Amino acid sequence: MAHDKAGKTMEGDNMRAELASPIFRLNTLARHLGVSCSLSPPSPMESQFPNQAIYPSPTAGFSGGSVFANVVQAPEDPILGVTVAYNKDPSRMKVNLGVGAYRTEEGKPLVLNVVRRAEQMLVNNPSRVKEYLPITGLADFNKLSAKLIFGADSPAIQENRVVTVQCLSGTGSLRVGGEFLAKHYHERTIYIPQPTWGNHTKVFMLAGLSVKTYRYYDPTTRGLNFKGLLEDLSMAPSGAIVLLHACAHNPTGVDPTVGQWEQMRLLIRSKGLLPFFDSAYQGFASGSLDADAQSVRMFAADGGECLTAQSYAKNMGLYGERVGALSIVCKYADVAVRVESQLKLVIRPMYSNPPIHGASIVATILKDKEMYYEWTVELKAMANRIINMRQQLFDALRARGTPGDWTHIIKQIGMFTFTGLNKEQVAFMTQEYHVYLTSDGRISMAGLNSKTVPHLADAIHAAVTRIK
Ligand code: KET
pLDDT (tens place) for every residue of the chain, 468 residues total: 344 433 344 444 554 544 555 555 555 555 556 555 455 544 444 445 555 677 778 888 777 788 999 999 999 999 999 999 999 999 999 999 999 899 999 999 999 999 999 999 999 999 999 999 999 999 999 999 999 999 999 999 999 999 999 999 999 999 999 999 999 999 999 999 999 999 999 999 999 999 999 999 999 999 999 999 999 999 999 999 999 999 999 999 999 999 999 999 999 999 999 999 999 999 999 999 999 999 999 999 999 999 999 999 999 999 999 999 999 999 999 999 999 999 999 999 999 999 999 999 999 999 999 999 999 999 999 999 999 999 999 999 999 999 999 999 999 999 999 999 999 999 999 999 999 999 999 999 999 999 999 999 999 999 999 998
Residues 6+ positions from 154 with CB-CB distance below 8 Å: 146, 147, 162, 297, 300, 301
Residue 278: active-site member: yes
Is 224 near ligand 1, meaning CB less than 6 Å away?
Answer: no
Measure the CA–CA gap between 312 and 318, rounded to whole angstroms.
Answer: 6
Measure the CA–CA gap between 453 and 456, rounded to whole angstroms.
Answer: 5
What is the 346 CA–ligand 1 centroid distance (Å)? 22
Active-site choice (292, 314, 375, 458): 314
Measure the CA–CA gap between 294 and 261, rounded to whole angstroms.
Answer: 9
Residue 197: active-site member: yes
What is the 175 CA–ligand 1 centroid distance (Å)? 13
329: helix, strand or coil? strand
Measure the CA–CA gap between 1 and 10, rounded to whole angstroms.
Answer: 8
Is 443 near ligand 1, meaning CB less than 6 Å away?
Answer: no
Active-site choice (94, 197, 232, 255): 197
SS3 content of the chain, % helix, strand, coil (to 5): 45, 15, 40
Rounded to two decimals, the pTM is: 0.88
What is the 147 CA–ligand 1 centroid distance (Å)? 22
Residues 6+ positions from 285 with CB-CB distance below 8 Å: 247, 248, 255, 291, 292, 383, 413, 414
C-alpha distances out from residue 222 to 78, 332, 462, Å: 22, 41, 21
Is 419 near ligand 1, meaning CB less than 6 Å away?
Answer: no
Active-site choice (94, 232, 255, 278): 278
Is 278 near ligand 1, meaning CB less than 6 Å away?
Answer: yes
Residue 292: active-site member: no
- In sequence order, what are the beta bridge partners of 276? 243, 307
C-alpha distances out from residue 255 to 117, 285, 294, Å: 34, 10, 12
- In sequence order, what are the beta bridge partners of 310? 279, 325
Measure the CA–CA gap between 413 and 415, rounded to whole angstroms.
Answer: 7
Is 197 near ligand 1, meaning CB less than 6 Å away?
Answer: yes
Q: Are residues 418 and 253 in contact, defined by beta-carbon separation less than 8 angstroms?
A: yes
Is 169 near ligand 1, meaning CB less than 6 Å away?
Answer: yes
What is the 279 CA–ligand 1 centroid distance (Å)? 10
Is 276 near ligand 1, meaning CB less than 6 Å away?
Answer: no
Measure the CA–CA gap between 366 and 143, rounded to whole angstroms.
Answer: 10
